[in-house]
């Protein structure tokens, strides 16, 4: 667990420094991504300049283009990173579950936690999708549909087992996901509710919606 070296050298000028350079590149990319998330979530994609992002990341004004091909690529990466994390939540819930009720409880809880803890990223991935390049949107839409299909799969499995009582699995899936996504809009880390309070309540509401009281 050694100390991690941080250098100030630019990526372009530090190519002979081996591993340290790679660390710096990764750090730089992370800082740029984090700044992009904050700006896109706050001001919107279109009104954010690559210069603003670079300066917020404490880098020179054209730095974004050293690490990413374009602002559009950064937006795509943010969306895909968020969706990948949600897919991981699904996978983990599936691996550890003992049936649809348990899986649904796990997914609901983690889904809420993620949207509260990564609210800026979630806002970008849901409210800035109109700004995605058409080819990027095609990919993002596909992953979104697959997540929706997996949640619906759990609900329908629960219906099949007679544990869930749902009239319309498509609409109920949408309601569950919708209420989870909206957490990213209203949740405030400095508010009176912890992420666990929010996730616990959200899970309870979801269970009500699938007819488990």
Question: Residue numbers of the site for a second copy (CB under 8 A)?
Answer: 42-47, 126-127, 130, 167-168, 171-172, 174-175, 178-179, 181-183, 185-186, 193, 197-198, 201-202, 204-205, 208-209, 211, 213
- Which residues neighbour 159 within 8 Å (Cβ) at sequence distance 6 or greater? 165, 166, 169
Rounded to a whole number of angstroms, the minimum distance from the CB of residue 63 to a second copy is: 22
Q: Which is nearer to a second copy, 50 or 172 (CB)?
A: 172
Q: Which is nearer to a second copy, 21 or 174 (CB)?
A: 174
- 8 Å CB contact between 197 and 106: no
Rounded to a whole number of angstroms, the minimum distance from the CB of residue 126 to a second copy is: 7
Rounded to a whole number of angstroms, the minimum distance from the CB of residue 175 to a second copy is: 5
> Up-side HSE of residue 42: CA atoms within 13 Å toward CB?
10
Q: Which is nearer to a second copy, 8 or 167 (CB)?
A: 167
Rounded (5°) CA angle 197-200-204: 135
Rounded to a whole number of angstroms, the minimum distance from the CB of residue 27 to a second copy is: 28
On the 0-12 / 13-18 / 19+ scale of CB atoms within 10 A, 202 is buried
Q: Which is nearer to a second copy, 65 or 186 (CB)?
A: 186
For residues 43-52, one letter each, b for 16 or more C-beta atoms within 10 angstroms of the residue's C-beta and e for the rest, the string is eebeebebeb
DSSP category for residue 4: P
């Amino acid at each position: 667990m050694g100390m991690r070296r941080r250098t100030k050298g630019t990526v372009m000028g530090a190519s002979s420094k081996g591993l340290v350079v790679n660390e710096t590149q990764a750090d730089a990319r992370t800082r740029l991504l984090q700044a992009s998330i904050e700006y896109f979530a706050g001001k919107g994609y279109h009104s954010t300049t690559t210069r603003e992002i670079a300066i917020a990341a404490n880098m020179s004004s054209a730095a974004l283009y050293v690490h990413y091909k374009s602002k559009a690529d950064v937006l795509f990466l943010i969306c895909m990173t968020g969706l990948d994390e949600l897919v991981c939540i699904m996978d983990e819930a599936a691996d550890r579950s003992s049936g649809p009720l348990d899986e649904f409880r796990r997914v609901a809880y983690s889904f809420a936690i993620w949207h509260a803890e990564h609210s800026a990223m979630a806002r970008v991935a849901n409210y800035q999708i109109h700004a995605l390049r058409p080819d990027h949107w095609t990919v993002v839409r596909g992953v979104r549909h697959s997540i929706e299909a997996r949640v619906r799969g759990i609900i329908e499995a629960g219906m099949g087992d007679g544990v869930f009582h749902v009239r319309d699995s498509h609409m109920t899936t949408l309601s569950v996901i919708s209420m989870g996504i909206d957490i990213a809009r209203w949740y405030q880390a400095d508010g009176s509710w912890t992420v666990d309070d929010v996730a616990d309540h959200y899970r309870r509401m979801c269970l009500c919606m699938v007819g488990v009281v």
